[in-house]
Amino acid sequence: MATNATKPSVYLQDMEEVKKVFARFDANGDGMISGDELSGVLKALGSDTSPDEVERMMAEIDTDRDGCINLQEFADFCKSDDSVDGGAKELKEAFDLYDQDHNGLISAAELHQILNRLGQNCTVQDCTRMITSVDADGDGNVSFEEFKQMMCNNCKK
């Protein structure tokens, strides 16, 4: 599998971030993400993804067709720019998982709720600090534009 060093990173900024997210999905720590593990994370994020949709996602990401997603496949997926919109649809879907009340903003309370569902032990104050670090307009929330800027290391300000 050839790699392209100039390919933009749409979702995660570096391999360390990719590894951290991969480890969250890899619940049993075996170095592979199974369909059940993927489904479990999606459910924790509040998504009611059907088994057929999980299967489709697995087929899209599992390029070696071994039935599981390894770290390299996950990294390739995170850095994918194959879609016509450059991954904007997937980025919006990710944003929407955090935007629990669908008001177009991620609050510290929403971030806290999602992170705790994912097993991250943090306080609302921790989440407030995280939000403050990317809150460009100072409204105390993360808008989609701020989320996109945070997730895309090649976006222009």
On average, the pLDDT of the chain sits at 80
Structural domain of 105 = 86-154
Residues 76 and 90 in one domain: no
User: Would 125 be classed as within a structural domain?
Assistant: yes
Boundary residue ending a domain (81, 116, 131): 81
The pLDDT of residue 86 is 56
pTM, entire model: 0.54
The pLDDT of residue 153 is 45
- pLDDT for 42-96, tens place per residue? 877 777 788 998 898 899 899 999 999 999 998 888 776 544 455 677 778 888 8
Torsion angle in degrees (nearest 10) through CA of 52, 115, 13, 31: -60
Residues 65 and 91 in one domain: no
CATH of the domain at 144: 1.10.238.10
The pLDDT of residue 8 is 36
Residues 38 and 52 in one domain: yes
Quote the tokens at residue 80.
Answer: 């994918």
- In Å, what is the CA distance from 33 to each residue of 18, 25, 105? 13, 6, 30
User: Would 6 be classed as within a structural domain?
Assistant: no
Residues 21 and 63 in one domain: yes
Instruction: Flag the least confident range among 14-23, 68-77, 83-92, 102-111.
Output: 83-92
User: Would 124 be classed as within a structural domain?
Assistant: yes
- In Å, what is the CA distance from 87 to each residue of 6, 39, 104, 107? 16, 21, 18, 23
Residues 105 and 147 in one domain: yes
Q: Is the pLDDT of residue 38 over 60?
A: yes
Boundary residue ending a domain (32, 49, 81): 81
User: Would 4 be classed as within a structural domain?
Assistant: no
Whether the CB-CB separation of 38 and 57 falls below 8 Å is answered with yes
Tally of domains within the chain:
2
User: Would 107 be classed as within a structural domain?
Assistant: yes
The pLDDT of residue 20 is 81
Q: Is the pLDDT of residue 107 over 90?
A: yes
